[in-house]
Amino acid sequence: MSIQNPILRGFNPDPSICRVGDDYYIATSTFEWFPGVQIHHSRDLKNWKVIAQPLNRVSQLDMKGVPDSCGVWAPCLSHHEGTFYLVYTNVKSFNGVWKDTPNYVVTTEEIRGEWSEPSYLNSAGFDGSMFHDTNGKSWFVTMVVDHRNGLFFGGIELQEYSKEEKKLVGEVHYLTEGTELGKTEGPHLYQKNGYYYLLLAEGGTEYGHAATVLRSKEITGPYESHPANPILTCAGHPEHGIQKSGHASFVETQDGDWYITFLVGRPLSPLGRCTLGRETAIEELVWKEDGWPYLKEGSIPRLEIPESKLPSVPRTKEETLVDFGEELPLDFQSLRIPKDESWISQKERPGFLRLKGKESLSSTHNQALIARRVQSFHVEASTLLEFSPKKFQQMAGLVFYYNTGHYHYLHLTTNGSENFLSIVTSDNFSQIEQEPISIGKETRVYLKGEMNHDRLQFYFSLDGEGFAEIGKELDASILSDDYVRDGDPRYRPAFTGCFVGICCQDLVSNSHHADFKWFEYRELG
């Protein structure tokens, strides 16, 4: 038996792995999706489940108005003396020469429980991490944003963190500008065999991405480069099934084995578009006689690796049908704002999920939208909608969504005298609407979408049995980092992935509601 890569499928990038006893945890980035940070749990490094989304209050994570692909970047999860530490950046702006990147840390003693209010660290850069030294000191290490002369990547800095004062203290130490690969970010520190090892993400988070290692006898440096850097990369191998490998973290098992987790992408074609976003993979790591870490086999991550020596704990099969009369699964996240009774309710109409229409799909403030990750190349999503729009500015339906400028939306609306089903595609913020189909006075409709690699086809039914195609086949590949990043540069960065979900807009009064009975997500291959 083997571990298949990726281990965390669909938009789960920037993995920070942490072991506590027999339990393994990986924290991944969530960007503008709320609650912030996904924490995945495993005991065998193969089967993983999301168990917590710790940043679940506005006091911890205020993202209203943040641009697309900003918000929570590259969290770092660590554990020290009975306490979990979660470092994260809440990126406020990124386009232009200056970047606003405040960094925070929250703590808890119970990873599934409530996390503390945040302590502010600094805003010098992003991708910060916490390192707990064997001498009792804790350190914050981060990349530095340098806006001078178009440099951007300014190297790596280190500063002590006072657990008592809950802030950074003392001198700031400049560690390194990185290797010749450049674009140095994602720093993590480790201690082994009398050295401090600095693991970096370099080469950019696209097809040149890589992981490099430096080391020093002193935590403040100087740091020397690994003789075989980069230790992990897919650059130069476009035929390989996984790409973009980098932004990594190490973990040692209770048996003394070592592994490295890292982000990857799975393109639809060589060096093409990755509709599933950036995912998380794992590889075996070995320490050789020269005292440096290496992948067990070469520097190109494998599509599958042998199972660990850890006892296997199979994951329970996930239900494909979500009945909205029951508790909403963690899979469903909202955009930028918490789920609260002001716009989402399972109480007002028992057995249904009620969405009170808010702003448009172009809004970065108040959207009534919940969605889950698309985690396979061939999926089908469907829902039962009951909606009585009064004006043409009121809409509700099923959406395949990348960001405020890129989505495919099948929705119910009205012209005041009869109701219509309509499909709107937003491509680089240009909206294309297909010919609406009248359904008369009907207010109850089944909606379905099938996404098969780069193709998306919508369907509808009035009785739930006979589904008919609606609209033409759509280009699903526009719902990818690669497409968005290659488009209008004003709308970069692009770091997320495709979601599918339900939403409601009321551009008249921000109050008219739609009711959803259930939502089904099925992976077809």
Of 522, 524, 521, 515, the C-alpha closest to 384 is 515
Cα-based distances in Å from 231 to 133, 222, 245 = 24, 20, 11
Residue 435: helix, strand or coil by DSSP? coil
Instruction: State how far the Cα of 253 lies from the Cα of 518, in Å rounded to an integer.
Output: 41
Cα torsion through 235, 241, 243, 245, rounded to 10:
-100
Report whether 496 contacts 403 (CB < 8 A).
Answer: yes
Residue 54: helix, strand or coil by DSSP? coil
* 185 is known as an active-site residue: yes
Tell me the backbone φ, ψ of residue 477, rounded to 5 degrees: -75, -10
Residue in 44, 127, 157, 185 annotated catalytic: 185
Of 14, 7, 32, 522, the C-alpha closest to 283 is 7
Tell me the backbone φ, ψ of residue 485, rounded to 5 degrees: -65, -30
* 318 is known as an active-site residue: no
Residue in 14, 157, 380, 515 annotated catalytic: 14
Of 403, 372, 379, the C-alpha closest to 453 is 379
Cα-based distances in Å from 176 to 137, 139, 182, 213, 219 = 21, 16, 11, 11, 12
Report helix, strand and coil shares of the chain as percent, to nearest 5.
5, 50, 45
Instruction: State how far the Cα of 496 lies from the Cα of 479, in Å rounded to an integer.
Output: 9
Bond prior to 187 in cis (omega within 30° of 0): no
Instruction: State how far the Cα of 252 lies from the Cα of 299, in Å rounded to an integer.
Output: 19
Instruction: State how far the Cα of 480 lies from the Cα of 193, in Å rounded to an integer.
Output: 42
Cα-based distances in Å from 72 to 152, 193, 450, 492 = 19, 34, 30, 16
Q: Can you tell me which residue has the tokens 């209770």? A: 254
Strand partners, 139: 131, 160
Instruction: State how far the Cα of 456 lies from the Cα of 88, in Å rounded to an integer.
Output: 35
- Provide DSSP, 333-393: EEESS---TTTEESSSSTTSEEEE-BS-TT-SS--EEEEEE--SSEEEEEEEEEE---STT
Which residue type occupies 331?
D
Instruction: State how far the Cα of 408 lies from the Cα of 266, in Å rounded to an integer.
Output: 22
List all residues 6 or more positions away from 310 whose beta carbon is below 8 Å from its beta carbon. 22, 43, 44, 45, 253, 254, 255
Report whether 33 contacts 334 (CB < 8 A).
Answer: yes
The residues annotated with a catalytic role in the active site are: 14, 185
